[in-house]
Structure 1
Amino acid sequence: MTTLRLRPEGPADAGPVRRVIAAAFARPDVGFPGEVRLVDELRGSEAWLPELAMVAEYGGEVVGYALLTRVRVRTGTGFAPALALGPVAVAPHRQRTGHGTNVVQAALDAATELGERLVVVLGDPAYYRRFGFTRADRMGLTSPWSGLGEPWQALVLPPATSEPEPVPAGEVIFPPPWSKV
């Protein structure tokens, strides 16, 4: 019986991850997906957190990917750390099998274990609601995508300690590679 293995991305996974993202985001009218370039550029940036780049492997093949990278929230008193989820990709031949849900949950669980408190995402509300994401604007979070309404979402992760840090509100600042998406 073949099982799904969820783990952080390793150095040998860059090629398979690129193929999964390219296949999942393929659009005949666009050419090479910007999501592939985004991941490539994030890998070399300060936003990259290798333990939060999660791979779903099925039968020895990389079939899914979920990436959390560092963003900052500009509050009234400075900056607070947060994470951005994306891209999330599943190889077309393995979509609708639960691999996407599993790899996203694995990334969120890893972030919780590291004591992270806030994750933002731009995506389908019907999909991300299953993880607990809600409208980010209702949490006082803004971004270049705030005007999109419901797709701009945030999730407060469970606290790692009994005295959690407060959840920040303000403008979410994304690292430069995001401006090209």
Structure 2
Amino acid sequence: MHLRRELAGDRASVRHVVTQAFGAEHGAVVADLVDDLRATLTSVEGLSLVAEHEGEVIGHVMFTRGLLDAPRRLVEVQVLSPLAVVRAHQRNGVGSALVHRGLELLAASAVPLVFLEGDPDYYRRFGFAPGGELGFRKPSLRIPDEAFQVVTLGGYQPWMTGTLVYPEPFWRHDAVGLREPGTPTSR
């Protein structure tokens, strides 16, 4: 397996990975979110990585710029979302390798914090902890407390607490937290 930054020629492959990984119900919405988040990435802000196996893209992870509304000032942070691996390669370490590599690269760039919504049993292995227990507030009440997680990196300072503010595309795609079953969404 080879990990690298996403290239412009990878877009269709990444869309396939995301669509397949998130399934019929959510795949297209998450793939559209990735397309819009990609437009917010710059050479110094955000990160999009792919995993290749035998020349085929089999996994993808994206980290995008968010803000922490801290008492002293706004702090630029990163949001890990989404992480996707094609079903045939899940549970083989592809997702773990992508997350580890992304966190290594972000730590080297002085990013203080990385937030996510996800399974605590999965993300704990990377150092993620419940955000609420560390003084952070989630951007939506629809995010389950246990799913709102954060990892501190080298640029973190103890005064950096407050409310996470997601990038606009998450709101536009209604990709924040969970909707009640049977509730219509904007999707």
Q: Given the two structures, how large is their TM-score scaled by the length of structure 1?
A: 0.87
For 1:26, the equivalent position in structure 2 comes to 23
Deviation at 1:117, TM superposition (A): 1.4
Deviation at 1:88, TM superposition (A): 0.0
Residue-pair matches, total: 171
Q: 1:30-62, CA deviations, whole angstroms, 9 ceiling, x for partnerless residues?
A: 365311111111112268867621111111000
Residue pair 1:76, 1:170 contacting (<8 A) in 2 also: yes
C-alpha distance in 1, partners of 2:170/2:21?
19
Q: 1:2-56, CA deviations, whole angstroms, 9 ceiling, x for partnerless residues?
A: xx101111111111000000000013xx365311111111112268867621111
Residue pair 1:48, 1:69 contacting (<8 A) in 2 also: no
Task: Mark the CA change 1:69 to 1:172 in structure 2 (over 3 Å): closer, same or farther.
Answer: same
C-alpha distance in 2, partners of 1:82/1:51?
9
Residue pair 2:45, 2:65 contacting (<8 A) in 1 also: no
Deviation at 1:145, TM superposition (A): 3.9
C-alpha distance in 1, partners of 2:44/2:34?
12
Task: Mark the CA change 1:151 to 1:31 in structure 2 (over 3 Å): closer, same or farther.
Answer: closer
Residue 15, structure 1, aligned to residue 12, structure 2: yes
Q: Choose which of 140, 148, 164 in structure 1 pairs with 2:144.
A: 148
C-alpha distance in 1, partners of 2:164/2:112?
14
In structure 1, stretches of 5+ residues that fail to align are none
Task: Mark the CA change 1:7 to 1:154 in structure 2 (over 3 Å): closer, same or farther.
Answer: same
For 1:105, the equivalent position in structure 2 comes to 100
Task: Mark the CA change 1:47 to 1:150 in structure 2 (over 3 Å): closer, same or farther.
Answer: farther
In structure 2, stretches of 5+ residues that fail to align are 176-187
Residue pair 1:49, 1:69 contacting (<8 A) in 2 also: no
Which residue type is aligned with residue 166 of structure 1? Q
Residue 170, structure 1, aligned to residue 162, structure 2: yes
Residue pair 1:68, 1:86 contacting (<8 A) in 2 also: yes
Superposition pairs of residues 25-174 of structure 1, within 5 angstroms: 25-27=22-24, 30=25, 32-45=27-40, 52-145=47-140, 148-157=144-153, 159=154, 164-167=155-158, 168-174=160-166
C-alpha distance in 2, partners of 1:140/1:46?
28
- The percentage of aligned residue pairs carrying the same residue is 32
C-alpha distance in 1, partners of 2:35/2:43?
10
Q: Report SS of the residue matched to 1:150.
A: helix
C-alpha distance in 2, partners of 1:12/1:90?
18
